[in-house]
Amino acid sequence: MKGTLWLAWRQQRALILTGAAVLLAVTAWVVVMRTDMTGFISSHHIDTAGCKGWDGGCESEATLKLLDDNNGPLRALGSLSTALPVLIGIFWGAPLLGRELESGTWKLALTQGVGIGRWFTTRFALATASTVLGSAVLAALVAWWWSPVSNMLGGLYWHDGYIFNATGPAAVACALFGLAAGTAAGLLIRRTLPAMAAVLGAVVAVRFALNSFRSDWISPQLWISKGDAPRREIGSGWSTGEFGFVDAAGRKHAIPDACPWGEGLPDLKTCMAQKGFTGRYRTVYPSGDFWTFQWIETGIFVGLAAVLVAAICFVLKRRPLP
């Protein structure tokens, strides 16, 4: 390796090698666990593909054990993948410029033959490549292990945080955001430890906000069942929690207990007729919306990361460093 690439490697090799070792160990563990899982599925002849949703209709001792055995470890892997952007922000982003500014080594680096642009770009590029590779491998491991038992009975669903935040392009984009936020925090705060705290707060806050407002990005599907026919099962969809009755004009009445069921009360059909309801409804995001949500949040994370990188470049160009 030559020039600034050598410097980038020399400064980040401990992180890269540690990360690679952890990733290798996790991969080995996932391979063992998933091999066990698929072995169990085939030896018990479980039709996982035909058993999607809460009402999958395949409840048996074997399927319950299958989910019992895998939910916990899958959640652990999902937690690791979800925490990765924070870890990258803290250990990779915050020291990238923060430690140079704190220890004064930026003066050494920037008075050599290479300019500030190449010095920063090469080091940030290596960090970016490592971040994308590491987060993509972890996201892929989550998806690979989870897919046979996905959206199944009481297992993990696509909209669970352990899965949604841990896999797909949004997980990779979030890791990039963590790196950019950590780098920016180090540059602006000029000290590593407070920058680490700042990036922890920033990534957790953005994740929390996205998890809270996710269901506002797109409209759910409206599922109406006519008359007193039972509401359509949610299956592997994501219920918004809103359900109620519709009247002849098609207006929605989000009053789930408008027609309570009990002794001495009129039956459902009579009650609905009395109140002018013609059917029942619920609103649900079908499992296909996973990708819509993923791409929306990928866009948000990549956009935030781009804004931060632009801000970093702006500050670096304007001497003095803050």
Partner 1 sequence: MTDDPTTALRATRLGRRFRGGWALRDCDFALPAGRITALVGPNGAGKSTLFHLATGLLRPTSGDLRVFGAEPGSPAARDRTAFLAQDKPLYPRFTVDDTLRFGRELNGDWDHASAERIVRAGNIPLDARVGALSQGQTTRVALALAFGKRPDLLLLDEPLADLDPLVRIEAMGLVMAEVADRGTTVVMSSHVLSELENACDHVLLLGRGAVRLDGDAQRLCDTHVRITGLADPATDDGLPPDVDRATVVEAAVTGRQVHALLRHSDWSPGDPWIVENPSLEDLLLAYLRSDHPAEAAA
The residue among 2 and 226 lying less far from partner 1, judged by its C-beta, is 2
Q: Which stretch binds partner 1 (CB under 8 A): 131-139, 200-208, 259-267, 313-321?
A: 313-321
Q: Does 114 engage in binding with partner 1 (CB under 8 A)?
A: yes
Q: Does 104 engage in binding with partner 1 (CB under 8 A)?
A: yes
- Per-residue exposure over 125-141, b if at least 16 CB sit within 10 Å of its own CB, e if not: ebbbebbebbbebbbbb
Q: Which stretch binds partner 1 (CB under 8 A): 75-83, 98-106, 138-146, 297-305?
A: 98-106
Q: Applying CB under 8 A, what is the total number of residues that bind partner 1?
A: 23
Considering the complex, what minimum distance in angstroms separates the CB of residue 316 from partner 1? 12
Q: Does 108 engage in binding with partner 1 (CB under 8 A)?
A: yes
Check: CB of residue 213 under 8 Å from CB of residue 165.
Answer: no
Q: Does 2 engage in binding with partner 1 (CB under 8 A)?
A: yes
Two structure tokens written together for 281: 């409804």
Q: Does 113 engage in binding with partner 1 (CB under 8 A)?
A: yes
Q: Which of 6, 208, 261, 291 binds partner 1 (CB under 8 A)?
A: 6
Q: Does 314 engage in binding with partner 1 (CB under 8 A)?
A: no
C-alpha distances out from residue 50 to 30, 39, 63, Å = 24, 18, 12
Q: Does 50 engage in binding with partner 1 (CB under 8 A)?
A: no
Per residue, the 3-state secondary structure of 236-290, as one string, reads CCEEEEEEEEEECCCCEECCCCCCCCCCCCCCHHHHHHHHCEEEEEEEEECCCHH
Please list the residues that pair with 252 across neighbouring strands.
246
| Contact partners, residue 9, CB within 8 Å, separation at least 6 | 1, 16, 126
Q: Does 7 engage in binding with partner 1 (CB under 8 A)?
A: yes
Using CB under 8 A as the criterion, which residues of the chain lie in contact with partner 1 when the complex forms?
A: 2-4, 6-7, 10-11, 103-115, 319-321
